[in-house]
A and B are shown apart, each in its own frame.
Chain A
Amino acid sequence: MTSQSQVKLRCRNVWMVYGSNPGRYFQSDDHRNATDSFIGKLRDEGFIPAAIDVNFDLLSGEIFAIMGLSGSGKSTVVRCLSRLVEPTFGEVILDGENLLEASDRELIEIRRHKMGMVFQNFGLLPHLTVFENIAFPLSLQKIQDSELRVQVERVIELVGLEGRESSFPRQLSGGQQQRVGIARSLAVEPEIWFLDEPFSALDPLIRKQMQDEFLRIQQLLHKSIVFITHDFLEALRVADRMAIMRDGRIVQIGTPQELVFAPADDYVAQFTSEVPRIRVLTAGQIVEPIMDAIVDDTRAMPVAPMDLPVEDLLPQLARHPSGVLVKGTDGDVLGIVTPDGVIRSLSGVNRASASPISLPDPV
């Protein structure tokens, strides 16, 4: 995330209210500020406000995670973004154009070229083979056979499904099926990638493996990603920034560190309370100025990047108890991390002289 990042997708005051004809409540200005009384009124009259005044920006090339408990409206938001459901109110601006005003024809074109989506239950077509499933979005566009084959083989290789092309989905394990889902969504080379709890249906081991796979693919492709999950640790692993949802509202948006160390309210705090800080904290956050006493040692010390999680720093610290140097993105040495410092920051005790842990600006 560099400062020149531009906004890819902008979600502005998006509301999704289930029920018959909720649009009439949005003709006046009552919904402004999304007051509790307005939402209470909707609920009392049998409507289900599943997304309430949702605002966020998705930057180019970032992974934006949306988190929340079951029923908090995560899927609803991502379905609004892809217009699988028609938001009751609001704007979804994709590359500067309001997606909600696109005609059916335009929408189909956008989906064919700009968007890819991965589903929790895979959504594979049971009557098609792996190859045909992955080729499906391309074949809908009547792309030439040879070109199609090249594209499909490329993504099959990308997700590591070589050799399974002619299997049917039911002959694959869950992890493999989701690989097909991922490959299918990537076949059209989308710019935006929606993943709705892509790994929730998988067991923990496979899930971890798929997350690594996912990160590897993202390193290669640099898509702009909205990633839905209800697993905070998963979000932690993959996300650049994340939003926490509760009962249809976004309660906080920020980097994982911000959410853990500066929760906006008790709900977020509770959400993150189980998270081992050692995984969230990065070397850059606990770096201390190099003190004169140990200066002569620094040449023997290993160097770690500033965004390395402290967890991964531990082995090096074990080997070099005197400390590890930390360097910034520009290569300059920022300071040093010592076992002492790690213990202090993890236990929340700051040195009298040091300021409270300062957070880097996310953008």
Chain B
Amino acid sequence: MPTSPAIAGSAGPFFLSAKDQKVLGWLAVFLFTAGCIALSGRIAWLGSYPEVLILPIVEWINQAEDVIVATTKPFFRAIAWLLDHPMTWVRDILHWLPWPALMLFAGAVSYRAGGWTLALFTVLGLGYMLVIGYWEEGMNSLSLVAISVPLAVLVGFTIGIWGFVSRPAERIIMPTLDVLQTVPAFAYLLPILILFGFGPVVGLIASVLYSFAPMVRNTIVGLRNVAPDIIDSGLMSGATRRQLFWRVRVPTGLRQLLLGVNQTTMASLSMVIVASIIGGTSDIGWEVLSTMRKAQFGESLLAGIVIALMAMILDRVTNGLATRRDETAGGQTWILRNRFWVIALGATLAVALVGRIVPILMTYPETWVVSPAGPMNDFITWFVVNFQPAIKEIKRISLFYAMLPLKIGLAQTVSPFTWGFVWTGNHMAITVAGLALLAFAGFRKFGVNAAAAIAIAGCLFLFGITELPWPALVAVFTMIAYRLGGTSLALGVFAGLMFLLVSGAWEKTMLSLWLCGIAVIVAFVAGSALGIWAAHSNHVSRIMRPVNDTLQTMPLFVILIPIVMVFKIGEFTALLAIIAYAYVPAFRYAEHGLRNVPNDVVEAARSMGCTPNQLLWRVKLPLALPNIMLGLNQTIMYAIAMLVIAALVGTNGLGQQVYIGLSKGDVGIGLVAGAGMAIIAIMADRMCQAARRRLEAPDQA
């Protein structure tokens, strides 16, 4: 690049400055890409990865699985059998309890956790369950949660203690948790199914496995962060090791531990709902799913609301208990100190006994059930029919002008039917030239990175991610990783991509990447924009907070329902669902970042004569950038988590593979696809972290 303005004084003719290396590196990558594209028509293996080089990883896994299952089945079945009992007991208790007794007790707990408003909310929520006729199903799900949470908390706490006392153990535990939390929950449903057999116990075990991770993290953090002064004072009080742990560390870190319980509960509920996909249990998740499949959206929505209410109640209650300040006085007798619970339990028992006698209190009469599902279905039908043209138009435009080009390239998308004209060589030449000019302009004005970004976006639009030759994509991704995080990250990304190729998951991965990528971009841009708005307007902030809270606590399933209702099954619906779930972190971090810009800096900028616009773009956003990047990171993670759920409504990609594995009982397919998603998630996460580090230490860039 002789035009590079930076060369002039700084480097001799035989020595490449860091900047030149960067430019040359990107040039090489794009030349390579261009070469691959040009040759892909003639050399078949460039276009698609050759079959012969695909290792039969799926078969290997299945063979290994056969061996493992054959040898360990009795053991796992025994565990399942053991777990079955407490589960049945809890379920029986919940069913034995007359509904007013449960309401009373839940109301009392809620009162303790969040005062009268929460108590009222809980009682009304349960009332909704009752009136709408989903009490039974709700209790079935709840009993799974009720048994899985204590188990997960116990497991998580134990592992957390282990990680706390031993640094080497922590170094093993933390990455394992990362993997556990990024592999989509569905992917391990199947192995569990095969090892533990059918039935609700699978949901229980999956739920425990999925939800103990946050407990581990919070345990380690909580135990570690106890102030040294407090530890010292415990030691000087003459505490033994055991006393120091149980009487100083644990109670002092209790709040953090309870936050762990809160997160564990939410994860557990969401997994219990997800696990109902395997069917066989008449729980509330199954109700949503089966009605959705039958296109009975009214019922589906009503059941979905039950889940959402359950999630909100559990969240508020556990969170309230975690952050509550205990004001009971010490030095009293046990009964006095716990009189609230004594009274609450006594009253519950009394109501229960009365309820067992009075039939109406025992089971809510069916004739009293009010289900507006019928009218709702009618309304939905009416709505969809009447707004059909508008809905179709929205779908058409996004499909033809954004989604399809990115998937298969402009050349294949543009046709008289779609864009109204035929794509010719001339169009191609003009577009390429235009892009090259744009990239060059970007280079002159903003530097190499901007040029590279423009070029990459151009390539994707012109050729589509599924049509680009795999060597080119590998080269581009590796280069991005190298620029962001140096050799080690580049090697990691390269290895991950190679696994995807070798295991034969490449094409499905690219489909997932495509859907996820679009969703992430839209969610991130929209979320950040809204977040910026909310940072400047308390109104917006107040309105959006409950919306965001709801979207975050809701099991992913439920988000699908209204979108499927309107847009029917398909990739567009999946896209919207992912966006709806994944924009929240972008929003929150943007708002948080902007609101936390130090006030004196803002005032200094104002006093220098910044316009509001300049203030935003030149002061606030740069300062909030690390936070905004964190939002991007989280948005990607959320999008990937939602991807699997979205596959329920018809996408092709890794999510779909996971389902295929699940429905065919093919562990290999499911696990490889799950691993593929974990690989994307981990790569994206590491790249975001690297980008953030560079932002925070720009001089090392």
Contacts and interface: CB of A to CB of B under 8 A. Distances in A.
A128 B236 contact: no
A184 B689 CA distance: 46
Contacts of B663: none
A119 B330 contact: no
A166 interface: yes
Interface size class of B (residues with CB under 8 A): 20 to 34
A336 interface: no
Interface in A99-146: 108-109, 111-113, 115-117, 119-132, 136-137, 140-141
B323 interface: no
A184 B325 CA distance: 23
A185 interface: yes
Contact of A125 (B251, B325, B326): B251
B247 interface: yes
Contacts of A137: 237-238
B230 to A, nearest CB: 5
Contact of A108 (B240, B248, B251, B327): B240
B73 to A, nearest CB: 46
A10 B232 CA distance: 22
**DSSP majority for the B interface?**
helix
A168 B243 CA distance: 21
A117 B330 contact: no
B404 to A, nearest CB: 59
Interface string B219-234: 0000000010110111
B243 A185 contact: no
Given A84-B236, A109-B238, A121 B331 contact: no
Contacts of A141: 238
Contact of A82 (B227, B234, B236, B243): B236
Contacts of B235: 84, 111
A184 B235 CA distance: 13
A178 to B, nearest CB: 12
A140 B239 contact: yes
B550 interface: no
B237 A111 contact: yes
B547 interface: no
Given A127-B326, A131-B331, A111 B233 contact: no
Contacts of A113: 238
A338 to B, nearest CB: 50
Contacts of A84: 232, 235-236
B48 interface: no
A117 B238 contact: no
Contacts of A166: 329-331
A119 B232 contact: yes
A189 interface: no
Output the residue of B248, B325, B329, B330 with the most chain A CB within 10 A.
B330
Given A165-B331, A166-B329, A127 B238 contact: no
A125 B329 contact: no
A82 B243 CA distance: 19
Contacts of A123: 227, 229-230, 232-233
A188 B234 CA distance: 13
Interface in B302-327: 325-327
Given A129-B329, A131-B330, A132-B331, A140 B232 contact: no
A137 B330 CA distance: 16
A140 B247 contact: yes
Contact of A165 (B233, B236, B238, B330): B330
Contacts of A129: 329-331
Contact of A126 (B232, B252, B329, B330): B252
Given A111-B235, A111-B237, A126-B252, A120 B330 contact: no
A1 B611 CA distance: 73
A136 B327 contact: no
Interface in A175-204: 181, 184-185, 188, 194
A111 B238 contact: yes
10 A-B pairs with the lowest CB-CB distances in the bound complex, closest first: A123-B233, A166-B329, A112-B238, A129-B330, A137-B237, A123-B229, A111-B238, A117-B236, A127-B251, A121-B229
Interface of A: 79, 82, 84, 108-109, 111-113, 115-117, 119-132, 136-137, 140-141, 165-166, 168, 170, 181, 184-185, 188, 194
